[in-house]
Amino acid sequence: MHIVIPIALPMAAQMGLSLPLIIGAVISGAVFGDQSSPISDSIIMASSAAGCSPESHFRTQLPITLNIATMAFVSYLLVTTVI
Residue 40: DSSP 8-state: -
pLDDT-based confidence at residue 21 (cuts at 50, 70, 90): confident
pLDDT-based confidence at residue 8 (cuts at 50, 70, 90): very high
SS3 percent helix, strand, coil of the chain, rounded to 5, is 80, 0, 20
Global pTM reads 0.76
Q: How far is the CA of 47 from the CAs of 5, 58, 61, 72, 74, in angstroms?
A: 30, 9, 11, 25, 30
pLDDT of residue 2: 81
Average pLDDT over residues 41-58: 93
